[in-house]
Structures are given as structure tokens and as C-alpha cells.
Structure 1
Amino acid sequence: MLSYSQMFVDTIFGFVALYALTKILGKTQISQLTAFDFISAIILGELVGNALFDDKAGIMEMAYVLFLWGALLYVIEIITQKFKGTRALLEGQPEIVIRRGKLIRDVMKKNKLDVNQLQHLLREKDIFTLREVEYAILETNGTISVMKKSDFQNPTRKDMKLAPQPTNLSVTLINDGEIIYDNLEEKNLTEEWLMEELKEQGFDRVEDVFYAEYLKDEEMLVLPYVNRGKPKK
């Protein structure tokens, strides 16, 4: 039976090792989780979990197994980057499940995708009827990308022949009752200006504000605490 101190050391090491491995392999392991990545994540968790409760497995054994498995994953990533022909085998490839408004039954059957599942994926894209869909592509991570029919697409400024306008990125100035000074400096704003804006919206203290967002040429968005904030005037 492992001692508590040994389990503590092994756990900390396993956490740090997995965190480092995730950083080395890149964010795609999380944001684009393919079937292969999913299996890899499960095996990594099993390796660490088993090592934690194995009397004969210490830090060196855990480090060796994690290094070996991480090296295999890294090599596969390099292979898929350099040899495009291996991507379909190791990562899979996107497939069209709706083409020109028609369901491609063979592709759905191949990917074990039924109509109910497809409707669920479409609803996640705010599409509640197949009538709106021109093309739908099943991605390798199980999500779906959709191109709507022209009658259901949102018009753009170009479609309406309007002059283009510059786009601005909003920034958070107050979060959970605390001022984000770095964001204030980034936008060349002062704390005095912020307090004036808050007073105009009925807030005398920063502590009464749960969230405040600044967007150039727009009124500052201020959200109070539900239980103690003052109502907006």
C-alpha cells in the first residue's frame, strides 16, 4: 500500500507531466478532438491512474511511460503534417452529409449518423429545418459545418451595397467588482473616465458592478450584481 506522501508526490508529478505533454502536443488536442485523440486521452489518463495506485510503479516508471506515449503522439503529429496522405488514415476526413439540400444516406450510414443525431447537430447551429440547408459537412471531430441556402443566409453590408465600417474589439473593464487596469491602459482610458461612465448609469461604486464592457463609439455595457447592484437609470 502506497503511503499518502508517495501518492501526493506521484499525483503532482502526473499532473505536471500531463500538463506539459498537452502544451507540447498543441491546442488541437483539445479544440479538435478526433477519435484518435479521444483514445489517446483515455489511455494517458489510464496510464497515470494505474501508476498512482501501483506499489511497484514509481515516478521514473510513470515518466518513462508518459514520455514514450507522448513521443508516439508527437511523431504521429509530425507525420500527418509532412505527409498529407496519412491524414485521412490517422485523423479521418470531413464528409458531406447534405449536398444541395439532399441527405447522402450512404455517408450517414458509414459514419453511424442517423437523422435524429443530424437534426441535433443542426439545432446547435440554430437550424431547425432541413429546408434551410444547402450543404452540411461532418467534420473529423464530430461537429457539423453548414452552408445555408441563399434564401436563408443573412445579408451582408456588401449585399446591401453599404459602405464598409471598421470593426472594433470589445474589452472587459470590470470583472466581478474589480477594475481591469491593463485593459484600461490598452484603450488609453483612465479610472476617472470609468467612474464618470458608471455614475451616468447609476453606479457610485465599482464594487456594485459585476461586469463592464467597453466598445468604441458605443455606450458602455454595465451589468450589476443581481443581489446588490443598483438598477440602471
Structure 2
Amino acid sequence: MHYGSIFVETLFGFVMLFILAKVLGKTQIRQLTAFDFISALILGELVGNALYDDEVGIRDIGFAVLLWGGLLYLTEIITQRYKKSRGILEGRPSIVIHKGKLQREEMKKGKLDMNQLLHLLRSKDVFSIREVDYALLETDGTVSVLKKTAHQLPTRNDLNLPPEQIVLSFMLINDGEIIWDSLREIGKDENWIKEELKKQEIYSVKDVFYAEYEKGKNLYVQGY
């Protein structure tokens, strides 16, 4: 039997898929941890081989599954006993918004762009960067949000206040480029946005990492 070959190939697959999961970034894994992601791929491949490859026997698949289970069990033991290994093997949450400011370097490390971040924030009922004090990109690819005190509970209903009109915010500049669809949606043009930037002593769109428009408020701008 080719147990030696199976051992080498499984170990190689473990290492390569772990590296792949890290390179793809947290948001690609979605709600799976890195090891859940790897396990799903490996186990799917093992089952696929058992079903469709006549040359792969039950004992071969059983050996590979036991080997894979042993690697996962060993990983769990290592992370339980050696705290320093947890950051490498399990990852750490990263702060992508700190005191209301986008942390561009942390976003780059997590392979997270503005569209992905806004999507994750909307899943937390946050429709504007202005509402956020802190946001953490978790190891499973989700975002945990701490809103600014002005946007926390109690709600208007709690205070018996009349409802207000809902205003949607628009991303107008992303990484030095104007989002033309959003600009047309709010009925503005390039000259308008340049004038708004000048009011904040910014003279080039290329100097802006992120800009957000919300009706009735000043343009929210963050440079590099």
C-alpha cells in the first residue's frame, strides 16, 4: 500500500491549503475559521476520491482521514498548550476602524477593500462609517462593531420622539478614485466634489482614501 505517499501528499496538502487560506485573507473564508476551511476542502476531496476513483481503496481513504484527524488534533493541542502559537495558527482580530478612522494598513493585511467593509458593516445594520467608533475584523471574516455613543441605544421610540426621514450614505471616493455612479445618484458632478475637498484643504482626489456623502451633512473625508 502507498501509505508513505498518502502521508506525504496529505501533509503537503495541509501546509499548502493553510498558506492559501492565509493568502486569500479572512473575508474569503467568510464564516469559517482557517482550519474549518481547510478541513472542508480536504474532506470533500477524500470523499470525492472514494466515490469516483476506482484505484483508491477504503483502507487508503481511512488512513488519510485518520492522518488528517490526527493533524487537526495535534494543532488543537499545540494551540491549547502554547499561547504564542494561537496567533499564527488561528489568527488574531484586527482593528480596521479605530476611533472612527479607517485603518488602511490593517485592511490591506486582511485583504479587505472598502466595498467589502461596507458590505460587512451593513450586515451589522451600519450604513455609514460615521456611526462607527471601532470595528474589528474577526478571524472568521466577520466584523464586530462598536457604534459611537450618538448611535447607540436608546432608540427614538424609547424616548417617544417622532420618526425622522431615513438618509442613505454614498461612497464617493475609494482609494483615490471617484465613484461616478454614486456621484450621479446624488445629482452632483466632479466640480462639486473638488470644491468640497478644497473646503477641507485637500486639492487632489488622489490624496483621498475614502469620502462619504450623506444629505444634510458635510462631506466625510479621510486621507492616506
TM-score normalised by structure 1 residue count: 0.52
Q: Which residue of 2 aligns with 1:61?
A: 60
Match of 1:196 in 2: none
How far apart, CA to CA, are the structure 2 residues paired with 1:117 and 1:56? 43
Find the aligned partners of 2:42 and 2:58 in 1 and give their Cα distance: 18
Q: Secondary structure at the match of 1:93?
A: coil
**Superposition pairs of residues 23-62 of structure 1, within 5 angstroms:** 33-62=32-61
Structure 1 residue 32 displacement after superposition: 5.9
2:76 is matched with which residue?
Answer: 77
Structure 2: which amino acid aligns with 1:80? T
Q: Does structure 1 residue 128 correspond to structure 2 residue 127?
A: yes
> How much has 1:91 moved relative to structure 2?
1.1
Find the aligned partners of 2:112 and 2:56 in 1 and give their Cα distance. 42
1: CA distance, partners of 2:70 / 2:142: 28
In structure 2, C-alpha distance between the alignment counterparts of 1:131 and 1:142, rounded to whole Å: 22
Q: C-alpha distance in 2, partners of 1:104/1:71?
A: 39
Deviation of 1:51 after TM superposition, in Å, equals: 2.3
Partner of 1:7: none
Aligned twin of 2:188? none
* Displacement of 1:126: 0.5
TM-score normalised by length of structure 2: 0.54
**Cα distance between partner residues in 2 of 1:55 and 1:148:** 56
The answer to whether 1:147 aligns with 2:150 is no
Mapping 1:73-222, distance limit 5 Å: 73-155=72-154
Give 3-state SS (helix, strand or coil) of 1:135's partner.
strand
SS of the residue corresponding to residue 155 of structure 1 reads: coil
Q: Secondary structure at the match of 1:62?
A: helix
Output the CA distance in 1 between the equivalents of 2:154 and 2:78: 42
* Runs of 4+ more than 6 Å apart: none
The residue matched to 2:89 in structure 1 has which SS?
Answer: helix
2:22 is matched with none
Please give the alpha-carbon distance, in whole angstroms, between the structure 1 residues aligned to 2:55 and 2:108: 47
RMSD value, Cα: 2.1
Q: For structure 1, which runs of at least 5 residues remain unmatched after alignment? A: 1-30, 161-233
Unmatched tracts of structure 2, length 5 or more: 1-29, 160-224
Q: How many residues are aligned here?
A: 128
Provide the C-alpha distance between the structure 2 equivalents of 1:41 and 1:75, rounded to a whole number of angstroms: 18
> Per chain length, whose mean CA-contact separation is higher, i.e. which structure has more relative contact order (CA < 8 Å, sep 6+)?
2
**2:154 alignment partner AA:** P
**Cα offset, 1:57, TM superposition:** 1.9
Q: CA deviation at 1:154?
A: 0.9
Deviation at 1:111, TM superposition (A): 1.3
Give the fraction of aligned pairs with identical amino acids, expressed as a percent. Answer: 64
Measured in 1, the distance between the counterparts of 2:46 and 2:108 equals 34
Letter in 2 for 1:70: G
